[in-house]
Structure 1
Amino acid sequence: MILKGFKEKSNKKHLNKLLSERQVNVTDKKIESLGVILNIDEIDDYELFRGLATSLGIHVNKLKIIAFSEDDKDTPTVWDICYNPKDIGWKGVVKNIELQEFLDIKFDALINYYTKDILELKLITAHSKSQFKIGIIQSDERINDLIIKTKIKEFNVFKEEMIKYLTILNKIKNEQ
């Protein structure tokens, strides 16, 4: 139990380091690839994000979704990648090879669709090499570049607002 507390403190320190070193560089480059990080314990509808990608004009092969579950048991295989707290080690080290491959992809945009304040979710978001991070309001506003204040179950509101702001920021084509 004591080691778990030390590990959590180590990971929090690593998260703060990652967020303080982050260089925010927002350009008007169009979004062509999309990554999604979600908490499967909060929302588990994979098709919502496929529809969102289609609305943004992103091909399905340029969409990659990973899901997080606080439960260590295997989750449905519908997800591209599913990880849990055991996949993150001391100092934020990623132990899961598939998860590390996801993090190494330089997505044009990354959607963080979760509201629970879970350290492992925030670490994965901070580790991502994504150019532009979009999310629902969270306790740490340094994680996302664009924050949409909505409830997790109000996906259509999130989608409409995101498309509106991405159009204003010239990140998507105006053909929507």
Structure 2
Amino acid sequence: MGFKQKYAYRKLAKMLASQNRNPVFPALKKHSKVGVIWQPSEKPAVHFLRDHFNKQGAIFRDYCIFDADSNPPVEANSLTVVDLNWWGIPKPDKIGEFVEIEFDLLLNIALEPNFAVNYVTALSKARFKIGSSPNDENYFDLNIKIAENQDAMFLAKQQIFYLAQLNKNSD
């Protein structure tokens, strides 16, 4: 990890230390707010999740984080390399609206985590965050280890499966 990335993660840690967050397991119902963080290669999984949660009557919002090799069209719900400052930290005006939404559930299906993905996930005001990280230290309330099965659709289905199982147990 280079100097710039160490600085960025240290700055993120300070921001997180000032937050007081208590995860709340979502009892998903009609009009629940669901957010998804994804990368361009995971588009079919985003459509799968959108269809699943729209059938339940949830309000669905997604946020795509592009990598350095992409040249995407400019959209409100995306973050590109142009939207990062010199340190690699996302500019507040670009992510501010998404991270301020109090989602009942935030799903992260990004398979190649990078600082921008971690930053948006960590700062999100979502009540409950689910994702996959091989690291023990991550920004999720529920970390699903998918090991060698690195597929966004598999991860999305696992997230829905575990949500359903946990909702059965909490009833």
Q: Does residue 64 of structure 1 match 2:54?
A: no
Distance 1:36 1:139 in 2: 20
SS in 1 for 2:167: coil
Over 3 Å counting, the alpha-carbon distance change for 1:72 and 1:131 in structure 2 is same
SS in 2 for 1:49: helix
Q: Which runs of 5+ in 2 are unaligned?
A: none
Q: Does residue 144 of structure 1 match 2:143?
A: no
Q: Does residue 34 of structure 1 match 2:34?
A: yes
Q: Which runs of 5+ in 1 are unaligned?
A: none
Over 3 Å counting, the alpha-carbon distance change for 1:26 and 1:51 in structure 2 is same
TM-score with structure 1 length normalisation?
0.72
Task: Give the deviation of 1:95 after TM superposition.
Answer: 2.0
Q: Decide whether the 8 Å contact of 1:19 with 1:142 is kept in 2.
A: no
Q: Decide whether the 8 Å contact of 2:83 with 2:94 is kept in 1.
A: no
State the number of aligned residues.
162
Work out which of the residue numbers 95, 99, 112 in structure 1 matches 2:95. 99
Distance 1:58 1:85 in 2: 34
Name the % identity. 28
SS in 2 for 1:50: helix
Q: Decide whether the 8 Å contact of 2:38 with 2:110 is kept in 1.
A: yes
Distance 1:80 1:10 in 2: 27
**Aligned residue identity for 2:50:** A
Over 3 Å counting, the alpha-carbon distance change for 1:22 and 1:152 in structure 2 is farther
Task: Give the deviation of 1:54 after TM superposition.
Answer: 3.0
Task: Give the deviation of 1:23 after TM superposition.
Answer: 2.5
Task: Give the deviation of 1:16 after TM superposition.
Answer: 2.5
Task: Give the deviation of 1:118 after TM superposition.
Answer: 1.2
Over 3 Å counting, the alpha-carbon distance change for 1:70 and 1:49 in structure 2 is closer
Work out which of the residue numbers 96, 121, 125 in structure 1 matches 2:117. 121
Q: Decide whether the 8 Å contact of 2:65 with 2:78 is kept in 1.
A: yes
Q: Does residue 10 of structure 1 match 2:7?
A: yes
SS in 2 for 1:12: helix
